[in-house]
Chain A
Amino acid sequence: MMRALFTLGPYAGLIAAAIAAYYLFPSNLGFVTTVVVAMIFVLSLDLVMGVAGISTLGHAALYGTGAYAAAIFATLVSADPLLGLAVGAGAGAAIAFVSGLFLMRAQGLTLLMLSIAVTEVLSSLANKYSGLTGGADGLSFTPGALFGRFEFDFYGQLGYIYAVCVFLVVFGMLRIVVASPFGLTARGIKESPARMRAIGTPVYWRLVSVYTFAGAIAGLAGALGAQSTALVSLNVYDFQRSAEAVIMLIIGGTGRLWGAVIGTIVFMTVHQVAASADPFNWLFVIGALVLAVVYIVPAGLLGLPEMVKKLTGGAR
């Protein structure tokens, strides 16, 4: 009973927050939806970087491929949004698997650079094959009605509810996976690949699996992002998207799913508020925030309570 309460409590909190946001920001639902999409994307990155310890600055490759796949599928085959999500997830997983086959052999700076290179190559290809992708103009499409009945409205109300539901499903699924043997294995690989090999685990293939699974989630986020704006353009592959996801994750705290959620909310809110308050100097705020986290709370915002406990404990 207590345990059930303990595990369900956070969900209730999330749903309450989602409902509150709906009524607090009725004219900003578009932005709030972007935050929800980003949370899914950063959750995927957390699985790769925080849980399995794979450093990457190219997570946008998986997001962008999911976004393009969903948009192209909607224009050519079917505009059904749920099918679109599935196609996005499939495309994200496929590109993650193929690139993972060589990325997962590398480490350190080499891995960071290779992950960037994959994204850049995909971006150039999307630009080159503009017949399919719309090139620099982007590809706009109209998502069909949800379950064939509910049309997406102009104010983004349904779009927001839809995105929150997808997020809750992904979050719940990731909680299960992180607690599973596969999740523990990923954490083991982060801690010590040498020991994992010595207990007989095919480390490389496990890493490819983690990356592929995370690719499905990032692709799903891309598809959702595309559907909520009804547009995909080359900026889905921007280096900035990958880098900002890393920033959000580290701000919140890596390796913990709540870290991804909190980091995304904090970063995007600060970003939004600072940029609208002072479009010239907002980057000062972001830079200071980032440095403050690295120098003062390296474990991320989720590490704050523990740090405060240590500090007050030491003062006694």
Chain B
Amino acid sequence: MKGLQVRNLNKSFGGLVVARDITLDLAPGDRKALIGPNGAGKSTFTNLITGILAPTSGEIRLDGRDIGRLSEAQRVKAGIAKTFQITTLFRSLTVRENLRLPLLERRGLTARMIGRADADPALEAEIEALLAQFKLSAFGDAKVDRLAYGQQRLVEMAMTLALRPRILILDEPAAGVPSSESPLISDAIAALPKDLSVLIIEHDMNLVFKVAAKIIVLVAGAILTEGSPQEISADARVRDLYLGAHHD
């Protein structure tokens, strides 16, 4: 079995159930979106997959291997990476340095105490390629907190991609990005490697419909339904969920 398989995943804090029997597959090349109202458990689900939280029960497998007991760092090495909903960058480091760190880590070099961090030509070439891919080449030596917010979101994505993950979780990649800059994000998602499995968690339905082939709807910690964008937009339950407030 290639890709990510989640089987009957449960998580509760005391009596509060935040993930209920979630079963989900991500095959190589999949583009799926996870949507749901606030408090539906989307962040909890992300944290369960990336290893920040431990599930109460259930299975998480990557290419058939059980990864449910691995630490966050070990899961990154296994091939699961995520971007942060709230931009989490090395703010006073340059864009190049921000990209250099994940590349060093992927090569297992972050414990090395001799030799300059920027001395490896192959690694530096990879940084330049990532900068070019995300149209950031002009800002390579700028400190990250000098960039426009939309560009910071791109650095966020580039750093994650530098890890060469096989499963990529994008946690609200367009959150806080002004609409003028939002094409930056959808273009970047469209340009992701074809064999990468992508799970995008997003509120912006325009973006979801543009990039996802399948949409999963999460409500109160459980999957309500899964289907193509057309099926989901035609589903009365989903419409109630999002438009419900207007019926009252």
Contacts and interface: CB of A to CB of B under 8 A. Distances in A.
Contacts of A177: 113-114
Nearest to A255: B92
By size class, the interface of chain A is 20 to 34
A135 to B, nearest CB: 38
Interface in A200-219: 200-203, 206, 209, 213
B149 interface: no
Q: Give the one of A184, A198, A206 with max B CB within 10 A.
A: A198
A185 B92 contact: no
Contacts of B247: none
B151 interface: no
A198 B105 contact: no
A256 interface: no
Contacts of B76: 198-200
A177 B109 CA distance: 13
A105 interface: no
Interface in B66-109: 71-74, 76-77, 81-82, 84, 88-93, 97, 100-102, 104-106, 109
A206 B110 contact: yes
A185 B101 contact: yes
Contact of A185 (B88, B89, B104, B106): B104
Q: Give the one of A184, A188, A199 with max B CB within 10 A.
A: A199
Nearest to A195: B88
A180 interface: yes
A187 B104 CA distance: 14
A199 B115 contact: no
Contact of A199 (B74, B92, B97, B159): B159
B117 interface: yes
B218 to A, nearest CB: 22
A181 interface: yes
B111 A198 contact: no
Given A199-B76, A200-B73, A180 B112 contact: yes
26 contacts: A177-B114, A179-B117, A180-B117, A181-B112, A182-B110, A183-B113, A183-B117, A184-B117, A185-B105, A185-B110, A187-B90, A187-B93, A188-B93, A191-B92, A191-B93, A192-B91, A194-B84, A195-B88, A195-B90, A195-B159, A197-B73, A198-B88, A200-B163, A202-B71, A209-B111, A213-B113
Interface of A: 176-177, 179-185, 187-188, 191-192, 194-203, 206, 209, 213
